[in-house]
């Protein structure tokens, strides 16, 4: 299943300060920019980079070997999906800290060093994450938000959150007014960039394979909570996250995987009744939006993919499966 692992020679037995683990699938140019930004982000820390490529077939493996020969490269011959590949990389990490990083993310200069510095000052922290901006320079509300609920998922999927973002009740889990420039403990960190503290037990330095794609970061935050560690948003560690570079290549499948993952999360952490509420609310979204987009798709071709998505969402919510 693993085509090859490129290993470096002459590493220090003590290991580097940080092991940066990146899972890549068909994002060659994003990955190149992500890797190029790491030396400035490290700010003098020693680090290794482990890239796990999920059978991209787009020249990513060749690009890494040619342009970043110091990177430790795992080339899978099939797409194992995100969590299995991330766990491959985390298992190979030799650093005191492990940094799980998306390939379409760019850490700003000093960003990695500030995360580690904050971790050293806060031994109670199990996970740390940077302040994240989107491509337009806006704060990403997914970092620092509260845990999702079936209602918050309905608000997001129905579009109500976009139309009525000024109504606090509707978007209360997003914490839109939260000052993300302030370093503090938060409920949730984004999986786009997570620094694992050496204080964490081995079981918390791996993702749960029951979440093959999506939801794994939320589940991890819950498990870190249960173990008594904090999650800290480091306000002066900055990162830009393009977002969706891989998932946009399979938009319908990715969206459905995300819904299924959240239903699994609600069932595991909030009980079967929460999972049933989530499924019922998703059926309402599927019913409303499939009617809108399938009718509109008769006249607007770009709506046809949305028609397919919401029909499949409706089918899942009623019958199960995808």
Is residue 66 over pLDDT 80?
A: yes
pLDDT digits (tens, 9 = 90+) for 276-301: 999 999 999 999 999 999 999 888 88
For 22-36, 57-71, 177-191, 264-278, which range has the lowest pLDDT when averaged over its residues?
Answer: 177-191
Instruction: Tell me what percent of the residues of the chain surpass a pLDDT of 70.
Output: 92
Q: How many other CB atoms are found less than 10 A from the CB of residue 244?
A: 11
CA distance 60 to 28: 5
Confidence of residue 246 (pLDDT cuts 50, 70, 90): low
CA distance 215 to 212: 9
Please give the mean pLDDT across all residues of the chain: 90
Indicate the burial class of 15 (C-beta count within 10 angstroms; 0-12, 13-18, 19 or more). Answer: middle
81: region left, alpha or beta (phi > 0 left; psi from -120 to 50 alpha): left
Bigger pLDDT: 73 vs 321: 73
Is residue 177 over pLDDT 80?
A: no
Structure tokens of 305?
Answer: 């993919």
Three-class HEC string of 14-60: CCCCEEEEEEECCCHHHHHHHHHHHHHHHCCCCEEEEEEEECCCCCH
Is residue 302 over pLDDT 90?
A: no
pLDDT digits (tens, 9 = 90+) for 142-154: 888 899 999 999 9
Three-class HEC string of 76-112: ECCCCHHHHHHHHHHHHCCCCEEEEECCCEEECCCHH
Distances (CA, A) of 103 to 136, 242, 248: 18, 9, 14
Structure tokens of 9?
Answer: 């020679």
What are residue 193's DSSP bridge partners? Answer: 101
Domain borders along the chain are 2-144+180-241, 248-319
CA distance 124 to 188: 16
Q: Domain 2-144+180-241 falls in which CATH fold?
A: Spore Coat Polysaccharide Biosynthesis Protein SpsA; Chain A (3.90.550)
> Which of 197, 155, 195, 194 is CA-nearest to residue 172?
155
Bigger pLDDT: 169 vs 188: 188
Contact call for residues 96 and 195 (beta carbons, < 8 A): no
Q: Distance between terminal CA atoms of the chain?
A: 26
């Amino acid at each position: 299943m693993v085509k090859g692992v490129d290993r470096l020679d002459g590493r220090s037995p003590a290991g580097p300060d940080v092991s940066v683990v990146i899972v890549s699938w068909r994002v060659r140019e994003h990955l190149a920019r992500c890797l190029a930004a790491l030396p400035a982000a490290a700010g003098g820390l020693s680090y290794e980079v482990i890239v796990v490529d999920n059978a991209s077939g787009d020249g990513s493996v060749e690009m890494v070997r040619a342009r970043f020969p110091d990177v430790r490269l795992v080339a899978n011959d099939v797409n194992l999906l995100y969590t299995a590949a991330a766990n491959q990389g985390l298992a190979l990490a030799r650093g005191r800290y492990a940094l799980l990083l998306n390939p379409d993310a760019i850490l700003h200069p000093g960003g990695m060093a500030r995360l580690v510095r904050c971790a050293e000052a806060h031994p109670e922290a199990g996970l740390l994450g940077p302040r994240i901006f989107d491509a337009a320079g806006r704060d990403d509300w997914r970092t620092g938000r509260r845990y999702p609920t079936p209602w918050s998922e309905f608000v997001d999927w129905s579009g109500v959150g976009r139309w009525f973002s000024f109504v606090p009740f509707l978007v209360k889990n997003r914490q839109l007014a939260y000052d993300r420039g302030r370093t503090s403990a938060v409920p949730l960190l984004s999986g786009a960039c997570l620094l694992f503290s050496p204080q964490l037990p081995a079981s918390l330095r791996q993702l749960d394979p029951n979440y093959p794609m999506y939801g794994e970061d939320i589940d991890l935050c819950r498990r870190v909570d249960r173990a008594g560690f904090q999650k800290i948003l480091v306000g002066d560690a900055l990162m830009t996250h393009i977002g969706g570079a891989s998932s946009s290549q399979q938009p319908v499948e990715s969206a459905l995987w995300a819904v299924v993952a959240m239903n699994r999360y609600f069932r595991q952490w909030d009980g079967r009744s929460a999972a049933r509420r989530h499924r019922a609310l998703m059926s309402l979204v599927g019913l409303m939006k499939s009617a809108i987009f399938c009718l509109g798709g008769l006249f607007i071709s770009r709506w046809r993919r949305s028609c397919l998505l919401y029909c499949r969402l409706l089918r899942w919510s009623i019958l199960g499966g995808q």
